[in-house]
Structure 1
């Protein structure tokens, strides 16, 4: 079991569920081939569309279903918050990881002072992708991500105000928090964090990263 002193990841029984069957391997060694299987469908982008960093795209529903991660794809889930929206996102990431045989590891900072150090810790783990779930992580992620351009980040159910090319976000009407002092694209509505929408958001966001469409906001209304 993965352990991090002075920081509880998740309850022990849940940690076992997250790691079991996910091909936990040696993250210090590079993959022996591409990490993506398949491709995005044409409906993910408009014909001739080449989104610039910080742009928002609205792909056709399911246009991301044709691209998946290879077995053993390495993901760190960063999560903070016991609220229902955050827990719905965590469940969606966990279910996706289990379905796709992803090697998932979880970090949960316990205090505000832990936020930035925990993100830095995630970067140092050698993941293919760091996924963020919880509004508390948005501002700290903006601080760290710009200094680690070789690490891909995915923010689900929120976005950072000025993302670099390595930060992709998935949002919808009701889930567009952009950090302290930043205007959101819509009013926050916890009721919009349904299991179906969170699951679609995870797959759409991962699909964008695997397809090389990064640094943008994927809108999944």
Structure 2
């Protein structure tokens, strides 16, 4: 027996809202249709990289502060924010990524793994969405990313506030003194400092990292080595 038309009319908005919450749609696009190759709008400023001496794979690049400010992604850049942890530092990174996405009209979706056993499946869910870029925020994701990323070289990853010890060419990291976690049991280039995760540094991390990825400067560690 079919429900009354009035009941259908009442249920339809609720069903639509539930679907939106599940998919995390920002623009109404389900990402299944054709999508232009993303590009960089603008140019890198002086001091981001030395054109006469391009960085080698796995090198550390220390760009001049603000040299990334002239770069933004092309329209409808598709980004998945992959995040794990409710500590203050992870929350600061997440806020910076979301603020950047809003400012630049990025189509942002979020994947939050459900505990330690869901970290690798969470990365897989993010990849299955086929974004232009996956941005990782949270130290708990570093070891799982080190396992997964070498097997999915066509997917670009950006790690903010930490780094992978041996990144493949599809993984770019942005860190700074106090934020150089490389995985459990590995040495870091500087002692951990929760207070170093300032809004300014977290904002610089996402902007500098995306600027590098959009300019094919990937597989590197970008060090924000001076106060920002």
TM, length-normalised to structure 2:
0.86
Unmatched segments (≥5 aa) in structure 2: 1-19
Unmatched segments (≥5 aa) in structure 1: 5-14
**Aligned pair count?**
206
TM, length-normalised to structure 1:
0.89
Matched with 2:224 is 220
Per-residue CA deviations over 1:2-61 (Å, capped at 9, x if unaligned) read 427xxxxxxxxxx7xxx6xx5342312332354321222231112412111211010011
Matched with 1:156 is 160
Matched with 1:124 is 128
Matched with 1:35 is 39
State the distance in 1 between where 2:179 and 2:34 align.
35
Q: How does 1:1-221 map to 2 (within 5 A)?
A: 1-3=20-22, 22-221=26-225
Pair 57,108 (structure 1): closer, same or farther in 2 beyond 3 Å: same
CA RMSD of aligned residues (A): 1.5
Q: Which contiguous aligned blocks of 4+ residues in structure 1 show a shift greater than 4 angstroms?
A: none
Higher relative contact order (CA 8 A, sep 6+): 1
Range with greater deviation from structure 2 (39-48 or 49-58): 39-48
> Shift of the alpha carbon at 1:67?
1.3
Aligned 8 A contact 1:159 1:170 in 2: yes
State the distance in 2 between where 1:23 and 1:35 align.
19
Aligned 8 A contact 2:84 2:141 in 1: yes
Aligned 8 A contact 1:24 1:72 in 2: no
